[in-house]
Amino acid sequence: MSPPIAPATTDEINARPNPCNDMLTMEVPAGTTRLDVFAADGRVMLTQPVRDRVVRLAVEALAPGLYLVRATGSHGPVGQGRFVRR
């Protein structure tokens, strides 16, 4: 099963530090209302509501590996990105 990826017309999400250990800071596109974090196999690992353009995400519960992030707004996907959890 492939992870859902937003269309190429969406904005890139900047995640730092990348790779990360326990906290990740992301700058998300304007209009983002929710972030979803997907494992490489497509499973949804985290979902978080968004209220600001800069989001801090606790990732210490995630296993080490590559993760995909999708930002969603009221009309669908608005951004995507990836990060590595050490």
Domain count, the chain: 1
In a domain, 23, yes or no: yes
Contacts of 56 (CB under 8 A, 6+ apart): 23, 24, 25
In a domain, 6, yes or no: no
In a domain, 1, yes or no: no
In a domain, 61, yes or no: yes
In a domain, 72, yes or no: yes
Question: pTM of the prediction?
Answer: 0.86
Sheet holding 23-27: strands in order across? 14-16, 23-27, 54-58
| pLDDT tens, N- to C-terminus, the chain (86 residues) | 555 554 445 789 999 999 999 999 999 999 999 999 999 999 999 999 999 999 999 999 999 999 999 999 999 999 999 999 99
Q: Which domain holds residue 39?
A: 11-85
Classified as helix, coil or strand, 12 is: strand
